[in-house]
Structure 1
């Protein structure tokens, strides 16, 4: 599949606008090198208020215009609208639990043959302001020694290396969970750059709320240089907004009647943390799910639902930010669309196989569940697109119907993929 309007896509600079600079707002490039410089053209910017992520804006600077002025005008225009949902209310006591010290945390990164990307992620993790953490790299079914050599030569004494011979992200995560020694275990991917405050913001809520089982955070694009990256972000990307949310199984959210089976709304695997004992108590991740298995995905969604169904609360906190390198090519985006659909139904299959007691609840919600599944894969009809990245720009990028069809095909395949993965693990002598 190719996209008919690729000529309309121009690289977009990624920036940060800090509203609290010593002499007024300060604009700087985002953390990832390689994108276009600040100047004339489109700029996608995170806005920080008191150091915390507060909003994203997209502005277009003309020749001779100050990009900071353009973005400030865009921010003021957004702030003046009646809809304030994405403007990031600052609630330190309720969201971050600031009177509490962050607990000891183990950060786990599962990786496979991407040493260059991994080094970039590790560099960002080792500059975290968290007072007590450890980083564990899980080398998943490697075919070379590149990852082991990188950790040994560049990060000796600062990063621990663990080998998981069987392929699959859930297996890698379970291996990392077994190696974790913190009260909290955080997971991220090798294609992110973590904000320096990420781990503190992600782990501190556990100290403030003993009933909390999981925390997820904000994911923004590290670069917007290819049509595939721009299209993905223009239709939501991985971001879940700037408003903190608490999901409590004892008080299901009124606006989500399918709760807790709408796991995709809770967060993503590139930015999640669990109370380690709670995750172990539910059996960790289902090894037949996740990237690297025939199921193609769903390991994070499975864990979210298992934690909630065990009675623990889940919090989304936008103060915990990572910058994600979106996939660059159309082929990558096609694979991602198919894998997302497959992972969605694979995780639902995994939940019912491992927790059959949840079947009556799922069946009761199935009619609306089918409508929901169709909605999240249909996106918007071609020609009825949201504007620019995050929905706040000036250009319109319709979502190709072909990607929606791929997601629906993936959904049909998901249960079969999960069954194949279980058979593979059983054949390897493991427990599926």
Structure 2
């Protein structure tokens, strides 16, 4: 399945226009066969939704998908433009481990940002070779990219190292397997300039490629996207449609596209170092930070205008590990919250029955349609396909999470005494 961007109303007056996604394969049917295309739909640059269409040989992809977008999305005639105010200075932190080729692709996209004042910090996490250091200090020397080494393994530990190294008051985090839209950093940091109370912002994550069954299935399962409407989550005014708020952390965003006010994140101790990829907890570092800040009374803002294109794992075995990690990371996050802020226990217990029901719904197996395996883009609907094997793995992960967190705490304490306090 090809991945593309469909602009419905180009600024130059040419109307609908389509192009392949950053890092994706070229568009066009092969051998006269029709091509399935997953397209981000934009209106004068603003994202409004996604469509999946079939384009035959000789068809104009832009026209076919534009007509489908009008039917399925109900594209508005106009969109409110984002404010043209200044964006605050920022530091972008990219944690990485032994993936210099992917890192170079991500850094190139960061250097193309339209943000007027930012730096990039690469955190080399528990390196076994000098490949990352050599890349950053040679190819990116003098280009606003700094190299930092963190010997203790774990994504949260690496992110905390980047937080300490950051020189700006706003710190954005992304992964080494993404390509950032040129407007990503400006869109992600602008809300901090508009709202002095804001502590966290997250953005839209879309697939860069859908070339394997595992990638298509993950995106059909909801992927990482959180919708196309901006939303502000304020603890002073809990959302009526989120009865588990603030413990449904996965609704707020993901670690590949998030930013924080540095002072607020440092005030709660940063990320829990016993969470995240690279630890026994398997994940949950981003979820922990979101809920911890909300629990302290800080608002969180989601904006679909801040877009990164994520390279999903290609192999089935990687998807299996990811499903297990989803479950483990969620309960590891909740365990970390109770360990570090026990006052949250009554609130969590009050939501426990609904939370268990939500977890069962979220991880339930769902049949794959006979036409060929799911339609990406139905984010948050819980109607997507999810094979029974992956459902079992996710639920096993839910049971394992607290144990994984305990193991990770012991490991971090042994590597760096005092770090888990």
**TM-score higher than 0.5:** yes
**TM-score category by the smaller chain?**
over 0.9
* CA offsets 1:65-116 (integer angstroms, 9 cap, x no match): 1111110111111134xxx8xx898344xxx4x2431100000000000001
Cα distance in 2 between the residues matched to 1:53 and 1:13:
18
Q: How many residues align?
A: 408
Q: Equivalent residue for 1:44?
A: 38
Moved over 2 A (4+): 35-40, 87-92, 379-387
Quote the RMSD (CA, aligned, Å). 1.9
Candidates 180, 188, 195, aligned match of 2:174: 188
Cα distance in 2 between the residues matched to 1:38 and 1:291:
37
For structure 1, list consecutive stretches of 5 or more residues without a partner in the other structure: 1-11
* CA offsets 1:152-205 (integer angstroms, 9 cap, x no match): 110002210000000000000000000111110000000000000000000000
Say whether the 8 Å CA contact 2:16–2:63 is kept in structure 1: no
Say whether the 8 Å CA contact 1:53–1:242 is kept in structure 2: yes
* CA offsets 1:349-381 (integer angstroms, 9 cap, x no match): 000000000000000111101111111111535
For structure 2, list consecutive stretches of 5 or more residues without a partner in the other structure: none
Q: Equivalent residue for 2:104?
A: 119
1:135 to 2:120 alignment: yes
Cα distance in 1 between the residues matched to 2:215 and 2:283:
20
TM-score normalised by L of structure 1: 0.91
1:200 to 2:190 alignment: no
DSSP 3-state at the match of 1:122: helix
DSSP 3-state at the match of 1:317: strand
- Alpha-carbon offset, residue 397 of structure 1: 7.7
1:422 to 2:409 alignment: yes
Cα distance in 2 between the residues matched to 1:371 and 1:88:
40
Q: Equivalent residue for 1:29?
A: 20
Say whether the 8 Å CA contact 1:235–1:386 is kept in structure 2: no
- Alpha-carbon offset, residue 285 of structure 1: 0.1
Cα distance in 2 between the residues matched to 1:357 and 1:117:
41
1:342 to 2:363 alignment: no
Cα distance in 1 between the residues matched to 2:326 and 2:186:
29
Say whether the 8 Å CA contact 1:170–1:288 is kept in structure 2: yes
- Alpha-carbon offset, residue 287 of structure 1: 0.2
1:262 to 2:248 alignment: yes
Q: Equivalent residue for 1:68?
A: 62
Cα distance in 2 between the residues matched to 1:226 and 1:383:
17
Cα distance in 1 between the residues matched to 2:320 and 2:392:
10
- Alpha-carbon offset, residue 275 of structure 1: 0.7
DSSP 3-state at the match of 1:58: strand
* CA offsets 1:191-242 (integer angstroms, 9 cap, x no match): 0000000000000000000111100000000000000001111121111110
Cα distance in 2 between the residues matched to 1:247 and 1:88:
27
Q: Equivalent residue for 1:16?
A: 5
Say whether the 8 Å CA contact 2:8–2:42 is kept in structure 1: yes
Distance 1:149 1:185, change over 3 A: same
Candidates 227, 231, 236, aligned match of 1:241: 227
